Amino acid sequence: MFTFAPTPGRDKTELYRELCSSALALTAGEPDAVANMANLSALIWTFVADLNWAGFYRVLPHAPGELVLGPFIGKPACIRIAFGSGVCGTAAASGTTQCVTDVHLFPGHIACDAASRSELVVPVLRHGAVIAVIDLDSPLPARFDADDAAGIEALAEAIAARI
């Protein structure tokens, strides 16, 4: 059995390095993308404080132009999100990270959990195409910053071949 937990007192840069290292160890040799996303959702939940939702939306071949809910931790969520709709759909359509300090001010925000105040969505790219997004929600306004975005972007790059 493995125990994956952040080392107390680490700054964000070190925390995210440790998260990426743990993610690679946890998914090593496992070919099932859904199993890996499930474990990665739990790992993110363990490493990143002050979340009320952490998980994945996937791009599936039979559902072009939309994201389909993947493994996550948190309250029930929207099952399908059109590209360009809400924070997740915007990240998927643009292929760029969305760091939103106040989701109530984001045009077209999709509120799955009314307690969410800020959100970080990072696209996962394989061969230049979006294959999924990592979605983090927090009940705290302005919870996420450039360091969080860079850390989750590094995670997305590290695990892209495993999901």
Q: Which two tokens stand for residue 33?
A: 């993308």
Using the predicted structure, report yes or no on whether residue 81 has a pLDDT greater than 80.
Answer: yes
pLDDT tens across 61-71, in order? 888 899 999 99
Name the β-bridge partners of 133.
57, 123
What type of residue sits at position 163? I
Query: DSSP letter at 25?
Result: H
Given the structure tokens 């001010």, which residue do they identify? Answer: 105
* ∠ Cα 126 154 83 (to 5°): 50
Between 109 and 55, name the one with better pLDDT.
Answer: 55
Spatial separation of the C-alpha atoms in residues 154 and 137, rounded to whole Å: 18
120-144 mean pLDDT: 97
Using the predicted structure, report yes or no on whether residue 134 has a pLDDT greater than 90.
Answer: yes
Tell me the pLDDT band of 123, cut-offs 50, 70 and 90.
Answer: very high
Using the predicted structure, report yes or no on whether residue 3 has a pLDDT greater than 90.
Answer: no
Structural domains of the chain in order of their starting residue, each with its CATH number: 12-162 (3.30.450.40)
